[in-house]
Amino acid sequence: MYRMKVKVIQKHLGEGQFPTFKEEAPVMITEECTHYLNWLACEINEHQTYVPKAFVCDGKLTRDYNPTELICEEGDVLEVQEIIYAWLIATNKDGVMGWIPAEAVISVE
């Protein structure tokens, strides 16, 4: 399967490590995210985080979800796994997977 590669153009530090929350976990929405459309500030299993709207239905996760952001340096090359509302789920050269905003990368292909 072909995956898009991107290069980091803006260092990204993330907001810490999170566990993977299982499908059907309850999600308590606290507010709409004003900076990124279709993202929600929420609480999942006593963790304050953000979640894409598409991952929530009737107050529960519709799929397994880990909100951990990928820590990247400018110039890192990543392999994109999925694109969701202006954020990428990507893997670095060490096989570590996480989220990074699309505005922090450019395509290298």
pLDDT 10s digits, 13-70? 988 899 999 999 999 999 999 888 999 999 999 999 999 999 999 999 999 999 999 9
- Torsion angle (degrees, nearest 10) of CA 54, 27, 41, 62: -20
Burial of 46 (0-12, 13-18, 19+ CB in 10 A): exposed
Q: pTM of this prediction? A: 0.92
Domains of the chain: 5-15+68-107 (2.30.30.40), 27-61 (no CATH)
